[in-house]
């Protein structure tokens, strides 16, 4: 081992390059001491000194599995288990199952309650059983689904300044990778650049397969819902509720001996290859979830993860200039905002926009908040939204409220606020679908599709419905009470009016209209 020299691999972005998963026990003692000494960072030395191997990026190479399919838990479709990581002392599952082992874990409050963090300069891992002692199954490898929320502490290298995790990093893994597929491996993992996600497996008889790969562009501390579904016929990866990649069915898996070692979340078995990020709300099933269910799960929870007020990644300054100006604006004007003063000389200019000089006052029990809109562009209106229920698990029942529009360098006061917590969010004029509602308004208030001008598909723009007070989610053209309906006699003369234009029609003996009263 002393003859090894550190040199850059041929490529760390080639999808066909996979790093071996190194067990700590497999390292000679002198190399383990070298990692401790810190002459090079552990991730750097591992990435450079250990030889990368080429794995054919093909599907279906595992035609004859070395073992029978792992247990599914039952012949019926089942939710298997969940991990909310609310028990930060013992990390037990929702069914009460304790980890096989764990070390060097941290806790974060930047998600939906507490989240577990695997990001340590020393070895860090979190290991759970696949098959519990009571016979229940935590993870099905031949057929099933797993989904979890993940936020990296790094950014992808395809973003400015991004470093990626700097090593091949499992998000969830069973067994360990070997060059000759002699042990057994099943893993959803990241490349060193944090630019691609892969799903692969090996048996212990030299067979292996990579089922799918998906490009990603992830930012530091930004949460993402990762959902993987798989069966004998197909596999699919969903990111933030949308299909990101598809592939063939799972055709090989580790044997029974490997399964007794369970699965690892956020690292390999050695704890050296870490995902370097936060995990929350892991769920497993013994059947493939349908896309609609995955989309619903994302829609239900995303505002909790995106709206955590302690996570500044979720409230970064927004671009100040829209990509293109809207055709018309359904929600416009100062609303509840009361302008106090303008100071262009002392106002910071930037291509971003944010709130500054914020302070609150209480008068006779009523709360008021004063602030200045900074940055931004001259003459561009910015929407202000408010919410007092952002931390609740049923946040979907409490949409944000539109407070009004303001301009850069102007100081405003918002009066008559609740004595409870109040959260403010500043939105830009971007209207991607040109329906008269900004993307921010559609995401926060109306819960319509910011990239679809007619969310319900009834032929009316979402902005028109807001102006007219119509149901944005309904097909309003089918509501007979919201349209003018005319009835005719057998010779084609109008003889009744209903709906919006309810009226009485008087006819002569020939059926001609004499008068109409409405």
Three-state DSSP string of 100-161: CEEECCEEEEEECEEEEEECCCCCCEEEECCECCCCCECCCCCCEEEEEEEEECCCCCCCCC
Tell me the pLDDT band of 7, cut-offs 50, 70 and 90.
very low
pLDDT at 486 over 90: no
Could you give the C-alpha distances from 469 to 334, 464, 466, 472, in angstroms and in order? 20, 8, 5, 9
Q: Give the Cα separation of 22 and 17 in Å (integer).
A: 16
For the chain, domains (ranges, CATH) are 17-277+284-311 (2.60.120.200), 318-470 (no CATH), 482-517 (no CATH)
- Residue pLDDT, tens place only, 71-122: 554 556 789 999 999 999 999 999 999 999 999 999 998 888 899 999 999 9
Give the 3-state secondary structure of residue 65.
coil
Per-residue tokens: 271:
């704890």
Q: Which residue has the higher pLDDT, 488 or 23?
A: 488
Please provide the distance, in angstroms rounded to a whole number, between the alpha carbons at the two ends of the chain.
95
Highest mean pLDDT among 262-266, 411-415, 495-499: 262-266
Q: What pLDDT digit, counting tens, does each position of 253-310 carry?
A: 999 999 999 999 999 999 999 999 999 999 999 999 999 999 999 988 888 888 776 6
Among 469, 470, 442, 474, residue whose Cα is nearest residue 456: 474
Of the listed ranges 39-43, 122-126, 316-320, 474-478, the one predicted with least confidence: 39-43
Residues 298-327, mean pLDDT to the nearest whole number: 67
pLDDT at 27: 31
Tens of pLDDT, residues 12-53? 333 333 333 333 333 333 333 322 333 333 333 333 333 232
**Which two structure tokens, joined as six digits, stand for 241?**
């509720």
Helix or strand holding residue 427 (H, E): strand 423-427
> Which residues partner with 234 through β-bridges?
248
3-state secondary structure of 277: strand
Residue 395 reports pLDDT greater than 90:
no
Rounded distance between C-alpha atoms, residue 206 and residue 225, angstroms: 33
Mean pLDDT of the region 316-322: 54
Which pair of structure tokens corresponds to residue 359?
């302070």
Q: At CA 337, angle to CA 367 and CA 391, rounded to 5?
A: 55
| Number of Cα atoms under 13 Å in the Cβ half of residue 324 | 8
Name the DSSP letter for residue 168: -
H-helix or E-strand spanning residue 173: strand 169-176
CA Rg value for the chain: 29
d(CA 463, CA 384): 18
- The confidence score (pLDDT) of residue 420 equals 72
Predicted local confidence at residue 33, as pLDDT: 31
CA-wise closest residue to 384 among 365, 369, 362, 364:
369
CA dist., res. 98 & res. 91, Å (int): 7
Across all residues in the chain, what is the average pLDDT?
A: 79
Quick check: 500 pLDDT over 70? Answer: no
Residue 322's pLDDT band (cuts 50, 70, 90): low
């Amino acid at each position: 081992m002393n003859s090894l020299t550190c040199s850059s691999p041929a490529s760390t972005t080639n999808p066909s390059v996979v790093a071996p998963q190194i067990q700590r026990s497999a390292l000679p003692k002198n190399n383990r001491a070298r990692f401790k000494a810190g002459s090079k960072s552990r991730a750097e030395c591992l990435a450079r000194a250990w030889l990368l191997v080429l794995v054919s990026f093909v599907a279906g190479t595992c035609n004859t599995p070395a073992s029978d399919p792992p247990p599914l838990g039952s012949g019926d479709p089942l939710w298997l288990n969940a991990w909310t990581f609310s028990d930060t002392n013992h990390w037990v599952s929702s069914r009460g199952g304790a980890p096989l082992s764990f070390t060097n874990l941290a806790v974060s409050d930047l998600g939906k309650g507490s989240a577990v963090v695997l990001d340590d300069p020393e070895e860090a891992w979190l290991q759970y059983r696949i098959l519990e002692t009571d016979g229940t199954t935590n993870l099905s490898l031949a057929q099933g689904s797993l989904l979890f929320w993940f936020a990296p502490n790094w950014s992808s290298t395809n973003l400015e300044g991004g470093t990626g995790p700097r090593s091949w990093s499992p998000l969830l893994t069973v067994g360990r990778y070997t060059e000759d597929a002699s042990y057994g491996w099943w893993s959803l993992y990241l490349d060193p650049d944090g630019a691609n996600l892969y799903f692969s497996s090996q048996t212990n008889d030299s067979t292996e397969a990579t089922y799918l790969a998906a490009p990603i562009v992830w930012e530091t501390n930004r949460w993402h819902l990762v959902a993987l579904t798989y069966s004998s016929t197909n596999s699919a990866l969903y990111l933030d509720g949308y299909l990101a990649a598809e592939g063939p069915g799972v055709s090989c898996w580790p044997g029974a001996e490997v399964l007794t070692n369970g699965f690892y979340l956020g690292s390999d078995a050695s704890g050296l290859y870490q995902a370097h990020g936060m995990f929350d709300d892991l769920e497993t099933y013994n059947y493939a979830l349908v896309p609609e269910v995955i989309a619903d799960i994302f829609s239900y929870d995303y505002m909790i993860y995106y709206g955590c007020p302690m996570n500044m990644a979720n409230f970064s300054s927004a671009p100040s200039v829209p990509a293109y100006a809207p055709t018309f604006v359904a929600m416009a004007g100062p609303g509840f905002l009361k302008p106090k003063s303008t100071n262009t000389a002392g106002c910071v200019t930037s291509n971003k926009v944010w709130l500054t000089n914020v302070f609150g006052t209480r008068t006779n029990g009523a709360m008021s908040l004063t602030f200045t809109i900074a940055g931004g562009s001259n003459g561009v209106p910015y929407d202000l939204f408010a919410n007092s229920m952002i931390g609740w698990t049923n946040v979907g029942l409490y949409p944000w409220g539109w407070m009004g529009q303001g301009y850069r360098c102007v100081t405003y006061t918002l009066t008559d606020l609740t004595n409870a917590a109040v959260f403010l969010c500043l939105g830009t004029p971007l209207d991607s679908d040109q329906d008269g509602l900004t993307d921010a308004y559609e995401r926060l208030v109306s819960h319509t599709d910011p990239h679809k001008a007619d969310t319900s598909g009834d032929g009316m723009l979402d902005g028109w419905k807001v102006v007219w007070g119509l149901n944005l989610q309904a097909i309003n053209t089918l509501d007979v009470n919201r349209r003018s309906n005319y009835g005719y006699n057998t010779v084609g003369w109008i003889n009744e009016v209903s709906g919006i234009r309810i009226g009485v029609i008087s006819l002569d003996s020939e059926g001609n209209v004499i008068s109409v009263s409405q």
